[in-house]
Structure 1
């Protein structure tokens, strides 16, 4: 299962499948430090016992029901200041994979995949290795709920719950890596603005007035865009625009 991919040019030519591990991101970093893994390699696991999400959250996933893997990239085609373009490209690739099943799928900043009113189906955690302000490696952790039908959180959902049926995990994996490879090629060709616009077109709550919170204090605003550095731009009801980084703003529930 999850063999070297024949349908790609440079991604997935080194695939490590583990029946179980704590975290595919942690395992990928271990292999990078050991010097045994290269650009485009993938670490995939049937069961993560300590999968990681954004903000230090744990990623909940039943064994053999979902896609949980990490992709190792050497994104020296981007400046360190352009890190968020990688995040946007990965989010766009996942949405494209699932859009035929879930036409309402959106990206919740910075990197959750959600269906408004029905919950979160997936997330991305990108961890970087930088040396003297040079981007050496990016480890792209991806978790997608596919066939799981029971969750501890009411905010979580899956492709099976939303669209019905059961899905071939290996086939979806191959299709997703192909989509990501197209995205990497677009970034290498400098098509950064196209990646950003695609992300903005499917951004959860964009151009909608809502109640947000900062340090527990609520305010009314609407998401108006994303800065080059990946900060969330919010227009305020009483005028002006503010920008927020990770953990600086709280959202309404999906």
Structure 2
């Protein structure tokens, strides 16, 4: 059971807890269609039977060990072309919380949070309801490995592994949502440069030569991200190329 958050102004004042569900993002979207969710509502569960990642990939989490929840926002101040700022804002917020446990956490484009030595610790999936002029609703789905210490996949980690101790889930939830509220207000104020600078400074492999695969293995380095969320890379040949989601793979 999770309590209403006391450390926020408007996020987390409506917390809907389920012991199990198929997907908190799907449930949130269903409730939005019924017009029965206010901004700041959190749907959280101990176990997702069909947790989702980017582009249909699956998010697997041990029941009761981690945070799996969706947060509803109404960023009507953003145009559809600005939706990548939501991804940046949430990534920066979560990274800031996790950095208190280790300085080796980075944002892996577009919005995974990974530990340089241990592996992926948090996944983010944002789904938007968009009209012609603005973003009506955003459902921010977050899967954060907190107390799980054994995984069926390689290169996956948790806060407990990094910090060496278990943590109270409610405490971590309050920190995460509190930081999201702070950065959401920065976004709402129009201070895009602050978000851009923070996101870029914590981007994994920024300006470091490494190997990637875009159908062919190549050596390149990440230079930046574009306003529409593409990854801008420089190849060893000097070519500058932009990649969308799933168009390039980190090796």
- Class of the TM-score when normalised by the shorter of the 2 chains: over 0.9
Deviation at 1:162? 1.6
Deviation at 1:105? 0.2
Q: 8 Å contact 2:3–2:170 — kept in the other structure?
A: no
Deviation at 1:108? 0.4
Residue matched to 1:182:
182
List structure 1 segments (4+ residues) > 6 angstroms apart after TM superposition.
none
Q: Deviations over 1:137-179 (max 9, x none)?
A: 1110000000001100012111111211110000110111110
Residue matched to 1:222:
221
Residue matched to 1:111:
111
Question: How far, CA to CA, are the matches of 1:11 and 1:179 in structure 2?
Answer: 10
Please report the TM-score for the alignment, with normalisation by the length of structure 1.
0.96
Q: Deviations over 1:186-223 (max 9, x none)?
A: 00111111101101111111101111111x21122100
Question: How far, CA to CA, are the matches of 2:104 and 2:53 in structure 1?
Answer: 23
Question: How far, CA to CA, are the matches of 1:45 and 1:159 in structure 2?
Answer: 19
Residue matched to 1:231:
230
Q: What's the C-alpha RMSD, in Å, of the aligned pairs? A: 1.0
Residue matched to 1:80:
80
Question: How far, CA to CA, are the matches of 1:96 and 1:231 in structure 2?
Answer: 23
Q: 8 Å contact 1:77–1:187 — kept in the other structure?
A: no
Question: How far, CA to CA, are the matches of 2:23 and 2:71 in structure 1?
Answer: 12
Deviation at 1:6? 2.1
Deviation at 1:7? 1.6
Q: 8 Å contact 1:46–1:64 — kept in the other structure?
A: yes
Deviation at 1:133? 4.5
Residue matched to 1:125:
125
Deviation at 1:234? 0.1
Question: How far, CA to CA, are the matches of 1:206 and 1:55 in structure 2?
Answer: 24
Residue matched to 2:64:
64
Which ranges of structure 1 fall in alignment gaps of 5 or more residues?
none
Kindly report which structure 2 residues correspond to 1:1-254, keeping only aligned pairs within 5 A, or say none.
1-214=1-214, 216-252=215-251
Helix, strand or coil: the match of 2:211? strand
Q: 8 Å contact 2:108–2:204 — kept in the other structure?
A: yes
Question: How far, CA to CA, are the matches of 2:150 and 2:238 in structure 1?
Answer: 43
Which ranges of structure 2 fall in alignment gaps of 5 or more residues?
none
Deviation at 1:117? 3.0
Question: How far, CA to CA, are the matches of 1:93 and 1:15 in structure 2?
Answer: 20
| Number of equivalenced pairs | 251
